[in-house]
Amino acid sequence: MTKNVKSKKFHNSCVVCTCRNVTLGEIVHAIKELGAKDLESIEKLTEAGNSCGSCKSPQHDVGEEKMELYISQILEKFVK
């Protein structure tokens, strides 16, 4: 079951992609300042999601959920 992201605040220093050590702040910067609009552009601009892929979405997080925050959830919040 996906965690409710709205009930928790994350700092920009929160690591979203542990494989590439990409933070929430870097992903938000890619969206707001560099024009990222989807997973593919986030991957190209930040390298987040390019390794194991568990950080992309709950569906990509194989087995028991490990991540607190997923790239897809960040995109939902910032890309309209």
Tens of each residue's pLDDT in the chain, 80 residues: 444 555 578 999 999 999 999 999 999 999 999 999 999 999 999 999 999 999 999 888 877 667 789 999 999 999 87
Half-sphere exposure at residue 43, Cβ-oriented, CA atoms within 13 angstroms: 12
**Which residues, at least 6 apart from 66, have a Cβ–Cβ distance to it below 8 Å?**
54
Break the chain into its structural domains and give their ranges: 10-78
Q: Which CATH number fits domain 10-78: 2.60.40, 1.10.10, 1.10.3470, 3.30.70?
A: 1.10.10
Are 69 and 13 in contact by the 8 Å Cβ rule? The answer is no
* Residue 6: count of CB within 10 angstroms of its CB: 8
* CA 25/CA 21 separation, integer angstroms: 11
